[in-house]
Amino acid sequence: MIVVEHLSKDFGPKRAVNDVSFTVQKGEILGFLGPNGAGKSTTMRMLTGFIPPTVGRVTIGGFDVAEDPISAKRLIGYLPESAPCYSDMTVHGFLNFAAEIRGIHGAKREQAIRTAVGLCFLEGVLHQSVDTLSKGYRHRTCLAQAIIHDPEVLILDEPTDGLDPNQKHEIRLLLKRFGQNKAIIFSTHILEEVDAVCSRAIIIDRGRVVANGTPAELRARHKLAGSVALKTHGVAAESIKARLTTLGVVGKVETEATGSQVFVRVFPRDKTVNSELAKAVAQLAAREGWSFEDLRTEEGRLDEVFRSITLPDTVKPSE
Amino acid sequence: MNESLRNILTVGKRELSGYFNSPVAYVFIVIFLALNGFFTFMLGNLLERGEANLDAFLMWHPWLYLFLVPAAGMRLWSEERRVGTLELLLTMPIAAWEAIVGKFLACWIFIALALGLTFPVIFTVGYLGHPDYGTILTGYLGSFLLAGTYLSVTVMTSALTRNQVISFILSVVVCFLLIFAGWQPVTGLLVQWAPEWLVNIVSSLSVMPHFNTFTHGVIDLRAFTFFGSVITFCLFANSVILRGLRGA
């Protein structure tokens, strides 16, 4: 549905987006992650045809955004970063305008407005002027505008920004529901959102794609991913280590003793993340008669993966 | 209905409703009518002149419009840029020129409405004597075209900045030049050093002689062409500015 090939964008001498390529299929929800200023919004603006790329090509549903922008834009619903709305209009007036310009006419228009209003929980403010709305409502008004024509492609720049936890939850449910038959790209820097919603995530840093995979794959890049943590007491750390290393699936073993309590971290030999290692460790502990109070597989933490592969913007890149 | 036309109408309708959803429209119309009345009757002495024509009314329009048209149109693009709705509008399935024309027409219609509300002045001259209604009609037409010409400049300058005040001032300055282009002190500045053809071009840019043909009851094709060309040029320049904004 969305095909992005070697997209680059220069602002003067600065390269904001550098050779970004990816595709999004129908039924996929792609999370677009990255530190502030990484090029997320610029990429999204190129996808929606707001700014032309310096190099590269974007195709939406088979239409080249540069060559046939109108056809491509028809397929897209877009929520820009700051969720701008025409503040001199009522919510209904604004959505009516959005529907009209999307070519929805007659009875269908009122129907489309009702549906979008229902999905974005705007019933209570329908006839209120946009400039009297709170940030959350304004955000959802702009989101309603993006989904009013039931687009095949949704491009959402920080759709949950400025919402309270309940609203965030509702929007995530909405995205998941839409994700079944649309191609969705949304940017965020809330990592839990990636786990909750995305089927795939891309991490972009200083204009480049630095990671592209399912949330599980990204978590597996964590240095502790796949390791098993075990808390025991009453057994000498050395003997635990010696016994564990006899197991075939075990790679490195680290121990840390505090009093009679020993904390053990067991790494898998082949760096895979599954429950095999935990099972083997548990069986061994049972055989040896170790008493343990905690045993679990570390899945890896997305935020640490994120931190390890992106540079904070307070650090100057050394290139 | 033609797709482009429909897009222009949709954009125009939204823009026009924007005027009437805020006090802007009412403040503008009241001030427009009050100033027209003041200039026509107090400074133009319409009642004491003993002439049944609209000269005392129309002669002020190039000056009134100089400030009122930029005031009406200064927000057209600058507000979109400031609030960020520009991104929304230009990612809708419409062409940029359709948005430009829609905005321009909406504001032009709004000014025409204010102009139309000056109709009591026609009754006044009708009461004073036997006016030539044809001349009155062409006078109004000329005033309408003049407003459109200024407005095209305003639409263009409002795309240059996200600040409405700057947009207003730029527009006033350019419109001011359009009035004075043919004025001797301005051409005198050029005559010293510029080649004659340049002087001729600059002095032919003045709106005044073209406006005056209309107030004298003449419908001159050249005047139409002039106003039409300036409007087309400015709206085209507007599209270039928008493209520049998105490219940068």
Which of A166, A196, A219 terminates a domain? The answer is: A219
Does residue A316 lie in a domain region?
Answer: no
Q: Which residues on chain B place their C-beta less than 8 Å from a C-beta of chain A?
A: 6-7, 10-11, 13-14, 17-18, 21-22, 83-85, 87-88, 90-95, 246-248
- Amino acid of residue A306: F
pLDDT for A312 equals 61
How does residue A311 score in pLDDT terms, banded at 50, 70 and 90?
A: low
B6 burial (CB, 10 Å; 0-12 / 13-18 / 19+) is middle
Q: Which residue has the higher pLDDT, B148 or A220?
A: B148
pLDDT for B201 equals 82
Cα–chain center distance at A50: 22
Mean pLDDT is lowest, of A117-121, A211-215, A279-283, B35-39, for A279-283
pLDDT for A48 equals 95
- Judging contacts by C-beta atoms under 8 Å, the chain A residues touching residue B7 are 101
Q: Is residue A105 pLDDT above 60, yes or no?
A: yes
Instruction: Kindly state whether residues A206 and A233 are assigned to the same domain.
Output: no
Q: Answer yes or no: are the C-beta atoms of A278 and A293 closer than 8 Å.
A: no
CATH of the domain at A254: 3.30.70.260
Closest CA–CA distance from residue A147 to any residue of chain B (Å): 12
φ/ψ (deg, to 5) at B136? -60, -45
Instruction: Kindly state whether residues A191 and A282 are assigned to the same domain.
Output: no
pLDDT for A44 equals 95
pLDDT tens for the 248 residues of chain B, in order: 688 999 999 999 999 998 988 888 999 999 999 999 999 988 888 888 777 788 889 999 999 999 999 999 999 999 999 999 999 999 999 999 999 999 999 999 999 999 999 999 999 888 888 889 999 999 999 999 999 999 999 999 999 999 999 999 999 999 998 888 877 777 777 778 888 888 888 878 889 889 999 999 888 899 999 999 999 999 999 999 999 988 75
**Count of C-beta atoms within a 10 Å radius of residue B165:** 10
Does residue A92 lie in a domain region?
Answer: yes
Domain that holds residue B151: 3-247
Q: Is residue A317 pLDDT above 50, yes or no?
A: no
Instruction: Kindly state whether residues A34 and A174 are assigned to the same domain.
Output: yes
CA gap A18, A6 in Å, rounded:
8
Instruction: Kindly state whether residues A175 and A278 are assigned to the same domain.
Output: no
Q: Answer yes or no: are the C-beta atoms of A47 and A155 closer than 8 Å.
A: yes
Nearest-CA residue of chain A relative to B4? A101
Q: Which residue has the higher pLDDT, B83 or A289?
A: B83
CA atoms lying within 13 Å on the CB side of residue A49: 28
Does residue A112 lie in a domain region?
Answer: yes
- Judging contacts by C-beta atoms under 8 Å, the chain A residues touching residue B22 are 88
Range picked from A176-190, A228-242, A290-304, B159-173 for highest mean pLDDT: B159-173
Helix, strand, or coil (residue B104): helix
Q: Is residue A132 pLDDT above 90, yes or no?
A: yes
A183-187 vs A29-33, strand pairing mode: parallel
pLDDT for A217 equals 82
- Amino acid of residue B183: W
Instruction: Kindly state whether residues A205 and A239 are assigned to the same domain.
Output: no
Question: Could you say which of A48, A51, A82 has the minimum Cβ distance to residue B247?
Answer: A51
pLDDT for A250 equals 79
Q: Which residue has the higher pLDDT, A195 or A51?
A: A51
CA gap A175, A118 in Å, rounded:
14
pLDDT for B248 equals 55
pLDDT for A315 equals 52
pLDDT for B245 equals 87
Instruction: Kindly state whether residues A214 and A246 are assigned to the same domain.
Output: no
ipTM passes above 0.90: no
Does residue A306 lie in a domain region?
Answer: no
Does residue A175 lie in a domain region?
Answer: yes
Q: DSSP labels for chain A? A: -EEEEEEEEEETTEEEEEEEEEEE-TT-EEEEE--TTSSHHHHHHHHTTSS--SEEEEEETTEETTTSHHHHHHTEEEE-TT----TTSBHHHHHHHHHHHTT--THHHHHHHHHHHHHTT-GGGTTSBGGGS-HHHHHHHHHHHHHTT--SEEEEESTTTT--HHHHHHHHHHHHHHHTTSEEEEE-S-HHHHHHH-SEEEEEETTEEEEEE-HHHHHTTSTTTT-EEEEEESS-HHHHHHHHTTSTTEEEEEEEEETTEEEEEEEETT---SSHHHHHHHHHHHHHT-EEEEEEE----HHHHHHHHS--TTSPP--
Give the residue-averaged pLDDT of A256-274: 79
In the numeric block, the tokens 């790494």 are attached to: A267
Domain count, chain B: 1
First to last CA, chain A: 35
Instruction: Kindly state whether residues A19 and A113 are assigned to the same domain.
Output: yes
Mean pLDDT of chain A: 87
CA distances from A234 to A164, A229, B115, B153 (A): 47, 17, 95, 86
Count residue pairs from A and B with Cβ separation < 8 A: 70
- Work out the percent of chain A whose per-residue pLDDT is above 70: 96
Instruction: Kindly state whether residues A21 and A55 are assigned to the same domain.
Output: yes
Which of the residues B80, B92, B98, B245 would you substitute to probe the A interface, choosing the one with the greatest number of A C-beta atoms within 10 Å? B92
Determine whether the interchain pair B87/A50 forms a contact, defined as Cβ–Cβ distance below 8 Å. yes
Does residue A314 lie in a domain region?
Answer: no
Give the residue-averaged pLDDT of A105-120: 93
Give the residue-averaged pLDDT of A55-61: 94
B56 burial (CB, 10 Å; 0-12 / 13-18 / 19+) is buried
CA gap A35, A303 in Å, rounded:
11
Q: Is A206 on the interface with B (CB under 8 A)?
A: no
Instruction: Kindly state whether residues A158 and A257 are assigned to the same domain.
Output: no
Give the residue-averaged pLDDT of A126-130: 93
Short-list A194, A296, A283, CA closest to A246: A283
Instruction: Kindly state whether residues A203 and A237 are assigned to the same domain.
Output: no
Q: Is residue A318 pLDDT above 70, yes or no?
A: no
A264 burial (CB, 10 Å; 0-12 / 13-18 / 19+) is buried
Does residue A284 lie in a domain region?
Answer: yes
Q: Which residue has the higher pLDDT, A317 or B37?
A: B37
Closest CA–CA distance from residue B112 to any residue of chain A (Å): 22
Domain count, chain A: 2
Instruction: Kindly state whether residues A91 and A196 are assigned to the same domain.
Output: yes
Domain that holds residue A38: 2-219
